[in-house]
Amino acid sequence: MQTRGLALRKLIEGQEILICPGVYDGFSTRLAAKYGYQTAVISGASVSECHLGWADKGIMGYEENVRVCRALADFSEDLLLQADADTGYGNAVNVHFAVRGFEAAGMAAVMIEDQLWPKRCGHLEGKAVIPADEMVDKVKSAVDARRDHNFVIKARTDAAGPIGINAAIDRMNMYAEAGADILFADALLSEEDIKKACENVAKPLTVNMGLGLLFRGTTPLIHPNRLQEIGVAMVSYPRLMSTGAVRGMMNAMDALDDMIKGDQPVERPDLLVSFKELNNLVGLDYLDELEDRYSSS
């Protein structure tokens, strides 16, 4: 039987770059599936911001994160979800149980990073990393903890900013040797750094991208075709839907304020999906079918 981890491995090993939108709630996860994506990354930053209302600076803990992941996996069986386990919520022993928890929650992969706790969004200033040997132990623990040997372990380093690209490459190779399946150097500063990483690491490399000026001053925006040319295996757009959703809600609230200032109701269908579109997205037809199936005759 093909597990979620094995299915994701096949996509990562494919000839074409694997493109992953970032999801964080029911709407975004269903939209990723609706638009035909086979996998998506669950953005820890967006989960913290959406579900807790706080920026990604170590406020969210394991229980809240895995709860959201499990809920998303429960209704999106055909979408391979990749969890963001931050630093693993402690030492290598904690990592063991975190990996078990995310795998049991229906994930295809989990990412562990080498930031010092409390961690912060990779594109914020003030990051610091733990000693590389400590992260190696976390990776080994993650590898040993998985019940399905195909469950994907993603090792992330945030070393490029604090101590340089060469240190980030050295760390990624240490994590690869410890058993990580895919490597991620966050917040690289140039295409040249991404290319250098691709050429000098022992496992497939993934990077994050934004759209427009989302990540100004850190990773530049590069087309997936170019990323594929320089050797990137997977690219994620973790904050695309969350920031797009906030912009949409701000536009809607601005329209509400404008209407209140006037004296007539205002129709703004350009700002909204229809009731039918919303119900189709969130599975109303399936719920209606269940109701009909089990209703008393």
Q: What is the pLDDT of residues 13-29, one digit of tens each?
A: 999 999 999 999 999 99
**Residue 215: pLDDT above 80?**
no
User: Up-side HSE of residue 131: CA atoms within 13 Å toward CB?
Assistant: 5
Query: Looking at domain 4-245, which of 1.20.1740.10, 3.90.76.10, 3.20.20.60, 3.40.1710.10 is its CATH number?
Result: 3.20.20.60
Q: Using one digit for the tens of pLDDT, what is the confidence trace for 124-177?
A: 677 899 999 999 999 999 999 999 999 999 999 999 988 999 999 999 999 999
Q: What angle do CA 113, 117, 118 make, to 5 degrees?
A: 115
The reported pLDDT for the residue numbered 120 is 73
Cβ 111 vs Cβ 126: under 8 Å: no
- Span 252-262, average pLDDT: 94
pLDDT band of residue 208 (cuts 50, 70, 90) is very high
pLDDT band of residue 297 (cuts 50, 70, 90) is low
Q: Report the share of the chain in percent with pLDDT over 90.
A: 85
- Structural domain spans, the chain: 4-245
The reported pLDDT for the residue numbered 161 is 87
Helices 92-104 and 62-75 sit at what angle, rounded to 10 degrees? 20
The residues that bridge with 40 in the sheet, in sequence order, are: 81
Q: Which two tokens stand for residue 212?
A: 């427009």
- Helix residue ranges, H only, the chain: 4-12, 26-34, 44-47, 62-75, 92-104, 132-145, 160-163, 165-177, 191-200, 224-229, 240-261, 275-281, 284-294
Q: Using one digit for the tens of pLDDT, what is the confidence trace for 74-87?
A: 999 899 999 999 99
Q: State how far the alpha carbon of 220 is from the alpha carbons of 45, 114, 207, 226, 283, in Å.
A: 19, 22, 11, 12, 37
Any idea which residue has 């690869």 for tokens?
Answer: 176
Q: What string of H, E and C letters represents the secondary structure of 48-74?
A: HHHHHCCCCCCCCCHHHHHHHHHHHHH
The DSSP letter of residue 179 is T
Helices 26-34 and 240-261 sit at what angle, rounded to 10 degrees? 120
pTM metric for this prediction? 0.94
The reported pLDDT for the residue numbered 175 is 98
Q: State how far the alpha carbon of 176 is from the alpha carbons of 3, 154, 180, 184, 247, in Å.
A: 22, 9, 5, 11, 39
The reported pLDDT for the residue numbered 212 is 60
**Residue 30: pLDDT above 60?**
yes
Any idea which residue has 């600076």 for tokens?
Answer: 57
The reported pLDDT for the residue numbered 210 is 80
The reported pLDDT for the residue numbered 160 is 92
pLDDT band of residue 214 (cuts 50, 70, 90) is low
Q: Would the CA dihedral through 289, 275, 25, 18 be positive or negative? A: positive
The reported pLDDT for the residue numbered 122 is 65
**Residue 216: pLDDT above 70?**
no
9's CB contacts (< 8 A; 6+ apart) are 150, 152, 181
